[in-house]
């Protein structure tokens, strides 16, 4: 079982880097919780492949710094969508 978890941690990290994915997107893609994604990246991956962990952390930090923008865009889309159905 331990080998599977380590392999998943590497796969999750590669997915995040290649797709510039968020924690939420990675969790959905791999069918795991956001907490598990965090644990895979911050704890397990540091032991397995520190360089990959660092690269993944950069993507996650960038996504975190931009999340307020994505949230605003999602809200805007929501209200535009609602207005289209009212008219």
Instruction: Output the pTM of the full model.
Output: 0.73
| Sign of the alpha-carbon dihedral angle for 45, 48, 53, 55 | negative
pLDDT of residue 84: 72
Confidence check: pLDDT of 68 > 60: no
4-58, pLDDT tens digit by residue? 999 999 999 999 999 999 999 999 999 999 999 999 998 999 999 999 999 999 9
State which residues form the domain around 54: 2-86
For residue 56, the number of C-alpha atoms closer than 13 Å in the C-beta half-sphere is: 26
Compute the Cα dihedral for 60, 62, 68, 72 and give only its sign. Answer: negative
* DSSP state letter for 30: H
Domain count, the chain: 1
Burial class (CB in 10 A: 0-12, 13-18, 19+), 15: middle
């Amino acid at each position: 079982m331990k080998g599977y978890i380590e392999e998943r941690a590497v796969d999750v990290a590669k997915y995040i880097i290649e797709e510039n994915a968020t924690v939420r997107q990675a969790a959905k893609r791999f069918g795991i919780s956001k907490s598990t994604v965090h644990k895979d990246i911050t704890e397990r991956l540091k032991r397995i492949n520190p360089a990959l962990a660092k690269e993944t952390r950069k993507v996650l930090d960038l996504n975190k710094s931009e999340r307020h923008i994505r949230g605003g865009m999602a809200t805007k889309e929501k209200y535009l969508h609602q207005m289209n159905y009212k008219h």
